Amino acid sequence: MTILEEIPLARPVLGEAEEQAVLDVLRSGQLSLGPRVPAFEQAFAARIGGVHASAVSSGTAGLHLGLRAVGVEEGDEVVTSPFSFVASANAVLYERARPVFADIDPVTLNLDPVAAAAAITERTRALLPVHIFGYPADVPALEAHGLPIVEDACEALGAVHGDGVAVGARGNPAAFGFYANKQLTTGEGGMLVMGSGEHKVRVDSERNQGRAPDMGWLDHDRLGFNYRLSDLACAIGLAQLDRLDDMLAARAQVAGWYRAALARLASERGLVLPCEDFGGDRRGWFVFVVQLPLGVDRDATIMALREVGVQSKPYLPAIHLMSLYRELYGHRPGEFPVAEEVAERSVALPFFPELSESQVTRVAEALERVLTAA
Ligand SMILES: Cc1ncc(COP(=O)(O)O)c(C=O)c1O
């Protein structure tokens, strides 16, 4: 029997440029609070078309500081999506505010603007749309409410709204994430992009223990956090930015191969593929998540794929049904039926820029065999 090489879920593209960038920082002796931080911020803001950017230790840290910047406080409500990575709702809890969930659109899997509008009350302080799986959320529709918006763009680098504005460049604080599976990685890290100079001053202070820019080493005029990103990470980020176009193009190509390879399972067996771009929106490809045909046992499918060397995982569980959120707010199944059904059927397949066409074929054939046997 031939032992096939295992196909991982994700793998970053790192090369000599990143190695050299790290070496340069090590040799400079300035590992933090050095020149690579503003250099990465400015290059990232320019790339997105945003005005200001603050490098932070994670996407979650960016969301937290973004929510604080728009004034979210204890007792406030923030309307958001239950179909997201848990960090987007957790960031609201950090401020003792309440994430109020609204159901998602069954096609884009993003917050449904009509459901979001219905969830707004007099206590709503902000809206927190998530550009899930890199597909642009309908932020223009949400902007009509005149409430502050904080965007979770952690999965959406490279995405563009239908009106031509890049995701993250609308002026609302928008958090990007640089964990190792993301379109651009610094290992761990994030960037908050924003239009307001006042927000930038506040965020820069709060990521650095509440220190004001013109103050001495130990003078802190507000509560802050240690959400800094190191020069080592920023140097890697700068090298990654140089290859971003190629990495995004490679991801889009892999997605195209998957679409072709899975077309028959989609049309004949009820496998649901990620939605195609429409209305001028452009996805920034992050993951390739399919919804299994109704009635198929997901755990068994994932196990069967693993046996033939294909990694996959459930992605994502609905946040409101996690134990913490059930305990805090008494959430129960049935509240957000679209999000719940999608969450139960979704599986992430291997997806990264260097995935080859033959590996995509192997994944598709393995899935076809498993679903035919099911
Ligand atoms: C939708 C979403 N929000 C928030 C985050 C949090 O980002 P980080 O892991 O960098 O804190 C992630 C990334 O994992 C994410 O996918």
Question: What is the percent of the chain with per-residue pLDDT over 70, rounded to a whole number?
Answer: 98
The catalytic residue positions are 182
Q: For the residues of 3-59, what is the DSSP string, one character each?
A: PPPPB-S------HHHHHHHHHHHHHS--SSSTHHHHHHHHHHHHHT-SEEEEES-H
Amino acid at 212: A
Residue 212 has pLDDT above 90, yes or no: no
In DSSP terms, which residues pair with 80 in a beta bridge? Answer: 101, 128
Which protein residue has the closest C-alpha to ligand 1 atom 12?
154
Yes or no: say if 251 and 353 are a contact pair by the CB < 8 Å rule: yes
The ligand 1 atom nearest the CA atom of 190: 10
Query: Cα(189) to centroid of ligand 1, in Å?
Result: 10
Give the pLDDT score at 166: 98
Average pLDDT over residues 304-331: 97
b/e burial code for range 222-251 (CB count within 10 A of at least 16 → b)? eebbebbbbbbbbbbbbbbbebbeebbebb
Residue 200 CA to residue 365 CA, distance in Å, equals 49
Summarised one tens digit per residue, pLDDT across range 61-102 is: 999 999 999 999 999 999 999 999 999 999 999 999 999 999
> Of the residues 155, 229, 313, which should be mutated to test ligand 1's pocket, given the most ligand atoms within 8 Å of the CB?
155
What is the model's pTM? 0.97
Give the pLDDT of residue 4: 74
> Rounded to whole angstroms, how far apart are CA atoms 314 and 301?
10
Residues 6+ apart with CB under 8 A from 144: none
* Dist. CA 63 → ligand 1 center (Å): 9
Q: How confident is the model at residue 19 (pLDDT cuts 50, 70, 90)?
A: very high
Q: How many A from CA of 185 to the centre of ligand 1? A: 12
Q: Would you say residue 3 has pLDDT above 70?
A: no
**CB distance 81 to ligand 1 below 6 Å:** no
* Residue 77 and residue 124 in contact, taking contact as beta carbons nearer than 8 Å: yes
Token pair in block for residue 88: 């987007």
Judge whether residue 28 has pLDDT over 70: yes
Dihedral over Cα of 302, 303, 309, 311: its sign: positive
227 lines ligand 1 (CB under 6 A): no
Q: How far apart are CA 147 and CA 308, in angstroms?
A: 49
> No. of H helices and E strands in the chain?
14, 10
**Average predicted confidence (pLDDT) for the chain:** 96
Nearest CA owner, ligand 1 atom 1: 85
Strand order of the β-sheet with 288-291 is 288-291, 346-349, 313-314
pLDDT at 203: 97
Identify the residue with better confidence: 3 or 201. Answer: 201
> What type of residue is 238?
L
pLDDT for position 373: 83
Alpha helices in the chain (DSSP H): 16-28, 36-48, 59-69, 87-94, 113-119, 139-143, 197-206, 231-242, 244-261, 263-269, 298-307, 323-329, 337-345, 357-373
CA dist list (Å): 9 to 79, 175, 292, 373: 31, 23, 17, 23
Q: Place 174 in a pLDDT band, splitting at 50, 70 and 90.
A: very high
**Residue 80 parent element (H or E):** strand 77-80
Ligand 1 proximity of 181 Cβ (cutoff 6 Å):
no
Q: If you measure from the C-alpha of residue 283 to the centroid of ligand 1, how many angstroms do you get, rounded to a whole number?
A: 17
pLDDT level of residue 306 (50, 70, 90 thresholds): very high
pLDDT of residue 213: 73
Which of the four pLDDT bands, split at 50, 70 and 90, describes residue 216?
A: low
State how far the alpha carbon of 200 is from the alpha carbons of 15, 139, 192, 203, 256, in Å: 32, 21, 9, 5, 38
Token pair of 37 as six digits: 């931080």
Average pLDDT, stretch 233-248?
98
Ligand 1: atom nearest CA of 181 is: 14
Burial group, residue 270, by CB count within 10 angstroms (0-12, 13-18, 19+): middle
Give the rounded percent of residues in the chain with a pLDDT score beyond 90: 95
Mean pLDDT, residues 132-136: 98
* Tokens linked to 198: 């006042």
Radius of gyration of the chain from its Cα atoms, rounded to whole angstroms? 21
Per-residue pLDDT at 2? 56
| Ligand 1 and 190: CB distance under 6 A | yes
User: Distance of alpha carbon 372 from its chain centroid, rounded?
Assistant: 33
Q: Does position 314 have pLDDT exceeding 90, yes or no?
A: yes
- The verdict on the CB of residue 152 being under 6 Å from ligand 1 is yes
Using CA atoms, how far apart are residues 154 and 131, in angstroms rounded to an integer? 8
